Structure 1
């Protein structure tokens, strides 16, 4: 969801004054867990990795953000997770206090943001199920189906799907080892469910993939 899509044409110049456009190289941090949450980000290009650092130093990836997604909307004083660029990323940065004042005067935009946060909560609940009682093949298939669907909504393309994140990123998201993820990709390739291509996959048997994801 783009912020601008919820605004009337005459409101855009006023909103544009609030925006700071920012670019991030791969692996650059947008913000870090426990830093003061002083800004909201709306992605316009690239993929962002979202993760939490556990007390024992391990990393748990909690999601991947795409263009149109918001980061930092929670009203906590500090960011509850870290965000860094998977590839080259562009974003609109909005100072939180100024953005909050702007929302007070734009109830229609506030409603759109509420819809977005409700959707994010639903995704978080789905992730809890994904990390629960599913085997590795079902977890990987669910990840690929969900990523394919998000990519299709963004670009209109659903056959060849880029995977800019690493296999280790996918493993950390699914609660698996990188070896298990790599073996599962190979197995899905051997049974012709997917074709592994440079920097992505091509879905050859969407029905089987969706059956695995729905298990």
Structure 2
């Protein structure tokens, strides 16, 4: 069985909407064939404790996606890897010590939400490939597949990354225009109408030349 790239998502529970956004991303990655893990993968708190479980997942992951927000950065700077318990659980966030410990074992990838700022990322991650999901899910997908990311420009990425076919390169191009509405189609139709008229004009000119020649020589 081929190796499934293992992806761990580190994020802070900023709001219910943000948590849902992260869950949607995890679901999207799983649908695309990645082995994606985050704290919601567990029904209960791990017996070994969140800190140990977090460290084990960082060690096992091929890539760790870091969901960069101001709140995440604040917790990173205050070294709050674990915040809250049970219903108040606040997600698993990197600390400088954890980053240094696992930097050689997993590839950390900073992720921004639409409109996010690079300054929201922990300082060690600001020099790495950063992906804004609304604009470059395909680039992230290629990176996780160990391919050179090809950034897509603005309007070229018309597919919302949460759509079922957003990650397929063949489906990220804008739809082909209806040929009936293109200028080229209009000009082609016009030329078709003009052709018979041009033949008539040529025939008349030839006849005039023949008549003139007949008059001159006879």
With the shorter chain as reference, the TM-score category is under 0.3
Task: Name the structure with the higher strand share.
Answer: 1
Q: Normalization by structure 1: what TM-score?
A: 0.22
Larger Rg: 2
Structure in which a larger fraction of residues adopt helix: 2
